Amino acid sequence: MVYLDNNATTPLDPAVAEKMSEFLKEHFGNPSSLYPIGREVKDIINEAREIIAKALGASRSEIVFTGSGTEADNFAIRGVLNAFPEKNEMITSAIEHPAVIQTANFLEQKGVKVSYVPVDEHGMIDLEFLKEAITPQTALISIMFANNELGTIQPIETVSKIAKEKGVLIHTDAVQSFGKIDVDVNALGVDLLSISAHKIYGPKGVGALYIRKGTKISPLIYGGHQEREMRAGTENTIGIVGFGEAVRVIKERGYKDKKRIEKLSKSLKRGVEEKIPKVKFNGHEKKRIKGTLNFSFLGLEAEAILLALATKEIYVSTGSACSEGAEEESHVLSAIGLRPEIARSSIRMSLGRFNTEEDIDIVLSELPEIVEKLRQISSFEIEED
Ligand SMILES: Cc1ncc(COP(=O)(O)O)c(C=O)c1O
């Protein structure tokens, strides 16, 4: 199998699986219980919290565990809007993950005015538009750090400066950047930041929201006293343990993975561009999570390519996992100005820790032939811009 869909999810790292399995066998206590078997679990949760906080340049008390990256995004946005009832505006971008876009759409229905910052052809936000959109009514700016479909990295430090000058809170969805590039909450200057374990070789169903000390925010979920009353519900202990270990492994491996993924990605990109005619690369050449490659294969339907690759056990994506099976083309590709038929011809290949040179060789030997065959039977006229 050649797995090139690491932006959708990553395989569990063996060290994470081992840690989780040990924990499962040895601990069942409720972290809220005051006797030793409960306290032990609470301590283990806090060890994971400490590892994650440190990796982000935050302190332990600023990390709240959630049920996913999606919940962290919802918490940040709805939590801030709820905490500022006197303000009813927010700003986000046109290329956010559905976890943010759909939350913003929901708030719009409740009367919140949402400004969607447009992006250029590489997926970079329009900073002038952003500046102009801020009003005294703006409660929050939420701009993703790296995009899941294109990998484009936004200038979050600049966005934070703009936000600070106007006294507006800033959230960033760092689900696709954490573990791949430096994510330091102080260097970025953000007030809130979302992450998720299953994109970094940890388990599914656990995420976290960084909340800078002193930030006014309401909880999404009410109930017990867990997570300093910011997220009620008995903790997903096993998930949190795996999350902490996944981050520990990243820190241990340092830049090893980054360098290797960059190299593999470079040869894959070059190979595709050299071997396949009428291919359009989507995304930013430089300011990009390098392991994310998005190509339009002009004249084809992406789904046909995806299915043909799958018969060879090569797994890629037609965009974000959430738009899989959806009829309409990706909102991200539309936002960078791709015509619908070009957007629908686009494939995302996202590399990860476990990819090898052999994987790239396999893709480069299978993909050109698949594209050529599909083009022979395709009824589309290939028309380049
Ligand atoms: C940028 C981004 N934000 C949020 C999410 C949602 O994370 P989760 O799957 O943990 O809900 C994803 C997952 O695809 C993502 O890529």
Q: What is the pLDDT of residues 208-250, one digit of tens each?
A: 999 999 999 999 999 999 999 999 999 999 999 999 999 999 9
Tens-place pLDDT, residues 119-146: 999 999 999 999 999 999 999 999 999 9
- Whose C-alpha lies nearest to ligand 1, atom 16? 148
pLDDT score at 383: 58
**pLDDT tens string 261-319:** 999 999 999 999 999 999 999 999 999 999 999 999 999 999 999 999 999 999 999 96
At 385 the pLDDT is 54
pLDDT tier for residue 320 given thresholds of 50, 70 and 90? very low
How many Å lie between the centroid of ligand 1 and the Cα of residue 180? 14
pLDDT digits (tens, 9 = 90+) for 354-366: 999 999 999 999 9
What does pLDDT average to over the chain? Answer: 96
Tokens encoding 218: 């309401």
Give CATH 3.90.1150.10 domain extents, the chain: 2-9+255-377
Tokens of 269: 């990109």
Q: How far apart are CA 366 and CA 231, in angstroms?
A: 47
Please state the pTM of the whole predicted model: 0.96
Closest ligand 1 atom number to CA of residue 147: 1
Does the structure show a pLDDT above 70 at 196?
Answer: yes
Q: Give the nearest ligand 1 atom to 146 CA.
A: 1
Q: Ligand 1 in contact with 244 (CB < 6 A)? A: no
Architecture of the domain delimited by 2-9+255-377? Alpha-Beta Complex (3.90)
pLDDT at 321 over 70: no
Residue closest by Cα to atom 14 of ligand 1: 8
Buried/exposed code over 300-321 (b: 16+ C-beta within 10 A; e: otherwise): bbbebbbebbeebebbbbbbbb
Is the Cβ atom of 172 under 6 angstroms away from ligand 1?
no
> Cα separation of 244 and 334, whole Å?
37
With a CB cutoff of 8 Å and minimum separation 6, the contacts of 263 are none
Q: Does domain 14-253 have CATH number 3.50.50.60?
A: no
Q: What is the dihedral of CA 352, 119, 132, 93, to 10 degrees?
A: -50
Q: Residue 353's pLDDT band (boundaries 50, 70, 90)?
A: very high
CATH 3.40.640.10 residue ranges for the chain: 14-253
Residue 381: is its pLDDT beyond 90?
no
